[in-house]
A = this chain, B = another copy of it.
Amino acid sequence: MSVDGLSINLATVREQWNLREAVEACARMGISAVDPWRDQVQKQGVAESARILKDNGMRVTGLCRGGFFPAPDAAGRAAAIDENKRALDEAAAIGAECLVLVVGGLPAGSRDIAGARTMVSEGIDACRAHARAVGVPLGIEPLHPMYAADRACVNTLGQALDMCDQLGADVGVVIDVYHLWWDPEFEAQIARAGRGNRILAHHICDWLVPTKDLLLDRGMMGDGVIDLRRIRAAVEAAGFHGPQEVEILSTEWWKRPGEEVLATCVERFKEFCQPE
């Protein structure tokens, strides 16, 4: 049994399993790609995590997550850059195809979102040489505008690509449908990302109606309103054929047995996520 084209972001089963358990469960299901989070890797140990991933034949579609560049003072911003370099080292150690950047929101006490965006751009720029040195591209993940204040002040694909254009190579984008599905410019910007060869990863889940929590109520594919098939077709037309990575942050799904969650991911991936 194998499930081509599917990756599991390990946050999806973070309450059920540690990294080893999650990777082994994925392998048993025929899933051959994952994206772990840093805390999962660190708890297992970086070298041990690398071994587990390799022994189970896993492609590593990313490491979540770097970012959080804005800070009230220069020392804080420098510390964030150092932390991102360590994250790049860890990404390289586990063979991750990119470091996913949740870029950060407003510094405490600030109302200056343009200023925060400049801090993000400068922070990423300061990490580029290290990214090149370790061979791991930096992937800006635009987050939904409801996270602009506290998690990421990059909120559309167009804005992320503008930042890429300004920064040059070593930087690309992570396209997560949950954050971007609503944008009237979404498909045009996917095509633009393809022309610049900027797509590093494609994350999927669904937008539930109603959504009961800003952070932890993401839906399983098929349970919401996102046209995943259409978006995947646009992503492939733009030249990206890497795995679709399921990332579901959900108190509901975290309550269920991990095997059930993975089985549902596989089933829904086949039913709702294949372009026609």
Spell out A's residues near B (CB within 8 Å): 105-106, 110-113, 117, 144-146, 148-150, 153, 155-156, 159, 181-184, 207, 209-211, 214, 224-227
Contacts and interface: CB of A to CB of B under 8 A. Distances in A.
Given A113-B182, A145-B182, A148-B181, 10 more contacts: A106-B209, A106-B225, A111-B225, A113-B181, A146-B211, A149-B182, A149-B224, A153-B182, A155-B184, A210-B214
A146 B112 CA distance: 22
A175 to B, nearest CB: 16
Give this chain's copy count: 2
Contact of A150 (B117, B183, B209): B209
Contact of A145 (B150, B153, B183): B183
Contacts of A211: 146, 214
Nearest to A153: B182
Contacts of A159: 184
B225 A117 contact: no
Contact of A184 (B117, B182, B214): B117
B113 A210 contact: no
Which of A106, A113, A155, A227: most chain B CB closer than 10 A?
A113
Given A155-B184, A159-B184, A214-B211, A149 B225 contact: yes
A207 B149 contact: yes
Given A146-B146, A214-B214, A110 B225 contact: yes
Contacts of A149: 182, 207, 209, 224-225
A150 B210 contact: yes
A226 B183 CA distance: 22
A209 B2 CA distance: 43
A39 to B, nearest CB: 21
Nearest to A186: B113
